Structure 1
Amino acid sequence: MGTVSTSTLSLAVVGAGPVGLTLALHAARALPHARVTVFDARPLAQDVSGDPRTLALSLGSVQLLQRVNAWQPERAQRILEVHVSQQPPSLPAVLGRLLGEPEVRIRAIDEAVPMLGAVLSYGAIVAPLQAAWVAAGEREPQRLATRFGTPVTALKPLASGVEVDAGIAERFDLAVVAEGGVFSEQARKSLSRDYRQTAWVGTVTLADAKPGVAYERFTRHGPVALLPLNDGRAGLVWCVDSDDDPVAELDDAQRLTVLNTMFHAEVGRIVDVSPLKHFPLGLNAERTLTEGRTVRIGNAAQTLHPVAGQGLNLGLRDAFELVRALSHSPDVDAMLRRLEWKRGPDRWAMIAATDFLARSFTWHLPGAGAARGLGMAAVQVMKPVKSALARQMMFGSR
C-alpha cells in the first residue's frame, strides 16, 4: 500500500549540505506531524561556517532560504546584473562592425525584482541552515532527529518503505539522498560524460569593482566567470581544457596577467588573484529521481557543469517540489510518480542547456564561435526572450 498519513510519515534525509538541510527544514514546517531524521557523516560539532567556496543562488533559492528562516542577508552580495560576453573574434568582420561585441545584460531593475540572486560562501549557507535545524530539533525532539557523525552505509528497499543503515538499521517510509559530492568522486550514474575540462576557482580583487554585477566571458578555452563579493572582491570560476590546460603551469602573477587580457573592458583591472584550486568537470545524472521509496535530489541526482551556475538552485527546487508533493498527497507511491513527471521539464532543460554549452567549447567547427555570438546578440535585442531567460535563471521551469 502506498498510502501514508502525514501524521505518521517517517522521512530520512541523507546528507546535511544546503539541499538536504533545506529539505529537512521545509518538511518540518510543511508536514507538522511527520517524523524527519537527518543523517550525515560529519560530526555535528564540526564548524562549517568558515568554508570559503563561493556559490551563486538564484532569487528563487533566496526566497526558499527565507521561508525556512535560514537567510542571512548581511553575509551575501546581491546580484543586480549579469553581463555575458564573448572574447573576440566573436563575429565576422562585417557583422562585428554593425553589432559590436556581442553581449547579454540581464538586470534586476528590468525584471522588477529586488535582485536576480545572491553570492555567498558555502559556510554562510550551511551554518545558518544547520543552526536552524538543530534549534528545530530541540523544540520538537520527539519528531525531528539528527544522526551526525555516522555515515549511511546502505539503503535497503522494503515492501512499503526503506531501511537506512547508519550503524543501526532504521525503517522509514521514504529516504531522500541529498549528498552528492563532486564529479571526480562520484560513482558513474546512468547518464555520464567527462568533459575533459578543469575548473580553477578562487577569488580576485578588482581595482574598480561594480557592486552587484556578475560577469561571464566565453573564451576559446571555455567560460570564465566573476561572481561579486564584498570589499571589491569577486569569486573566480575559470574553466579550461584539461588536455591543454593554460593555467596549470602559471604562477599567481602570470595568472593575473592572463586574466587581465580575458574579460570585457567593463570589468576593469584585476589587481590580485588568490591561490587557485582546481577540479574536473563532467555531467553525471540519474535518468529518474526515484527508485522504490528512495529519492535522489541535488548533486545526488544531477551533477552539472558550472557554466550556468545553476546546480545548487536546481537541487533546492528539487527539495521544494518534493515537500510540496508530500503535503498534497497521502499516497507516497503515487506522489513519487507525479514528482518524476513534475520535475522532468526543469531537470532536463537545465541538463540539456549546460551539457550543450559545455560541449560547445570542445567543438572545433568553423563558425561555432560566430554562431554563439550571433545568438547572444539576438537575445540582447529580443526583450521578451531575454526576460524569459532571466525568469528561467531566477525560478527554473514552472
Structure 2
Amino acid sequence: MDATTSLQLAVVGAGPVGLALALHAASALPHAQITVFDARPADRDVAGDARTLALSLGSVQLLRRLGVMPGAEAITEVHVSQQPPSFGQAAVCIRAADEGVPQLGAVLRYGTLVAPMQRAWEAAVAAQPGRLRMRFGTPVAALKPQADGVEVDAGIAERFDLAVVAEGGVFAEQARKAVTHDYAQTAWVGTATLDGGTPGRAIERFTRHGPAALLPLGGTQWALVWCVPRADDPVQPLDAAQRVAVLNSVFPEAAGRVVALSPLKAFPLGLNAERTLVSGDGRIVRIGNAAQTLHPVAGQGLNLGLRDAYTLVATLRHALDTHDIDAALRRVEWARAPDRWAMIATTDFLARSFTWQLPGAALARGLGLAALQALPPVKHWLARRMMFGSR
C-alpha cells in the first residue's frame, strides 16, 4: 500500500464483532474500502435469535458511539458466591454505585443487537456504495496469503490488503487451535422467571458441578447459564419442574426464587485460542471467537472480541498515515496480548478451579471470596477489569 492507494479491507463474519469492526472502520478510516462477507443471506431475520449476550460497560460505550446500542437491561450489581455456603456465607458484591458508574454492563438478546447493526451497515453501504460493500449469502471458502495482501475466495477470488476473520462459531464446531482444552462440561442455557429477583442484579454461583449464572433481562426474566459435567450430566434427565426445584437449591436467597423455566439448550464448553491474532504467513487477523473461544464463567468472550476490533481499527488508522500495515499489525499483537491472555488465563483458572474436589478447596474458595469482599481496592481493580479489560 502506498500513499495513493486506499486500504482494501475484508471482514469475514457479520456477527456483533465483525459488524462492529466494519462500522467503526467505515467511520474511522474514511478512505478505506470495506467488504463484509457472511454465509447468512441478508434477508434472513436475525431479530428473533434469543441467545443471550453480556456486555461490559466498555462494550456498551463503544456500541453507543457507533449508534447501534439498542435498549438493554442494565447490570447494576453482580453477586458472586459458592454452593454449598462456607466461611460465613461468603459473597462478593460489586455495585455500579460503588464504582461511580451508572451500570457495570448490560444484557440483551443476540438478535436484538445484531439486527440493528446489520441495518446500520446496509444503510452505510447504500450511502457509499463505491467504498462499502456487503456480500451476504456468500460463504468464504478460503483465504490465501499473497505478497502484501490476501486473496479471499468467496466464489470469486478477490485481493485485499487485509482480511479480518470474525466468524468464530461455538466450541463444538470449531477446528482446534494452538491452545485448547475441553472442560468436559455442558452449558444449559435458557430463560428463568424469578419471583423476588432484584432488577439489575446478576448472580454468579459456583457449585461443585460448575458455575451457574442468572443475568437480568428485564421484568421477571433472567437469562440462565448452568454449567455441569458432560459425562454425568445432572440436568439432562430432569423435567422442567425438577429443574426448577434444583435451581432453587443451587442459587442463593439473593437471587430470588425460580418459578418457571423455558426449554433449555445444551452447548459443550472448552477453551480454543490462537497464540496470536495475526497469522504468521500473511495479512490475516482473527478476532473475537475466531481468535479465542472462552468458558462463559465470566461472560467476557464478546467483550474481548469488541476490544480486539476497536484496537485493530485504531491501529490501522495510524497505518494509513505511515503506509505500513505490517508494522501496524505488529502493534496490534503487542497491544492486545496483555488483555487477551489475562482474560484467557482467568476464565481457564475459574473454569477448572471451582470444580476441584481437593480437601479444603471449598474452604479456600470461601476464604478467597471473603477476602475479596473485605478489600475494596482489590475489588475495585477487579471491577474495572471486568468493565474495561486491561488498559
TM-score by length of 2: 0.97
Q: Distance in 2 between matches of 1:5 and 1:204?
A: 56
Aligned to 2:59: 61
Q: Distance in 1 between matches of 2:255 and 2:262?
A: 18
- What is the aligned counterpart of 2:365 among 357, 372, 380? 372
Aligned to 2:258: 270
Q: Is structure 2 residue 244 aligned with structure 1 residue 243?
A: no
Q: Distance in 2 between matches of 1:274 and 1:231?
A: 15
Q: Is structure 2 residue 134 aligned with structure 1 residue 146?
A: yes
Q: Is structure 2 residue 316 aligned with structure 1 residue 326?
A: yes
Q: Distance in 2 between matches of 1:346 and 1:201?
A: 27
| Cα deviation digits, residues 344-390 of structure 1 (max 9, x gap) | 00000000000011111342211122211111111111101000110
Q: Distance in 1 between matches of 2:232 and 2:353?
A: 16
| Cα deviation digits, residues 51-71 of structure 1 (max 9, x gap) | 011111000001111111101
- What is the aligned counterpart of 1:84 among 71, 80, 105? 80
Question: Could you tell me how far 1:236 is from its partner in structure 2?
Answer: 0.1
The answer to whether the 8 A contact 1:6-1:327 is kept is no
The answer to whether the 8 A contact 1:206-1:270 is kept is yes
Q: Is structure 2 residue 294 aligned with structure 1 residue 299?
A: no
Q: Distance in 2 between matches of 1:365 and 1:325?
A: 46
Q: Distance in 1 between matches of 2:2 and 2:288?
A: 25
Q: Distance in 2 between matches of 1:229 and 1:25?
A: 26
Q: 1:254 to 1:186 in 2, by over 3 A?
A: same
Question: Could you tell me how far 1:6 is from its partner in structure 2?
Answer: 8.9
The answer to whether the 8 A contact 2:186-2:229 is kept is yes
Q: Is structure 2 residue 120 aligned with structure 1 residue 132?
A: yes
2:370 counterpart letter in structure 1 = A
Q: Is structure 2 residue 35 aligned with structure 1 residue 37?
A: yes
1:242 counterpart letter in structure 2 = R
Which ranges in structure 2 are unaligned for 5 or more consecutive residues? Answer: none
Question: Could you tell me how far 1:161 is from its partner in structure 2?
Answer: 0.2
Aligned to 1:169: 157
SS at match of 1:71: coil
Q: Distance in 2 between matches of 1:169 and 1:337?
A: 27
SS at match of 1:32: coil
Q: Distance in 2 between matches of 1:46 and 1:246?
A: 36
Q: Distance in 2 between matches of 1:234 and 1:397?
A: 28
The answer to whether the 8 A contact 2:13-2:166 is kept is yes
Question: Could you tell me how far 1:268 is from its partner in structure 2?
Answer: 2.0
SS at match of 1:250: coil
Aligned to 2:303: 313
Greater CA deviation, 54-63 or 263-272? Answer: 263-272
1:189 counterpart letter in structure 2 = K
Q: 1:58 to 1:6 in 2, by over 3 A?
A: farther
2:8 counterpart letter in structure 1 = S
2:227 counterpart letter in structure 1 = C
TM-score by length of 1: 0.95
The answer to whether the 8 A contact 1:57-1:117 is kept is yes
Q: Is structure 2 residue 371 aligned with structure 1 residue 388?
A: no
SS at match of 1:113: coil
Task: Give RMSD over aligned pairs.
Answer: 1.0
Which ranges in structure 1 are unaligned for 5 or more consecutive residues? Answer: 91-95
- What is the aligned counterpart of 1:188 among 138, 161, 176? 176
The answer to whether the 8 A contact 1:7-1:34 is kept is no
Aligned to 1:209: 197
Q: Distance in 2 between matches of 1:222 and 1:6?
A: 55
1:9 counterpart letter in structure 2 = L
Greater CA deviation, 229-238 or 175-184? Answer: 229-238
SS at match of 1:244: coil
Q: Distance in 2 between matches of 1:237 and 1:385?
A: 27
Amino-acid identity (%): 70
Q: Is structure 2 residue 278 aligned with structure 1 residue 290?
A: yes
Q: 1:10 to 1:83 in 2, by over 3 A?
A: same
Q: Distance in 2 between matches of 1:195 and 1:391?
A: 27
SS at match of 1:333: helix
| Cα deviation digits, residues 97-126 of structure 1 (max 9, x gap) | xxx211110101111111000000000110
Aligned to 1:93: none
Q: Distance in 2 between matches of 1:139 and 1:150?
A: 22
The answer to whether the 8 A contact 1:31-1:327 is kept is yes
1:116 counterpart letter in structure 2 = L
- How many residues end up aligned between the 2 structures? 386
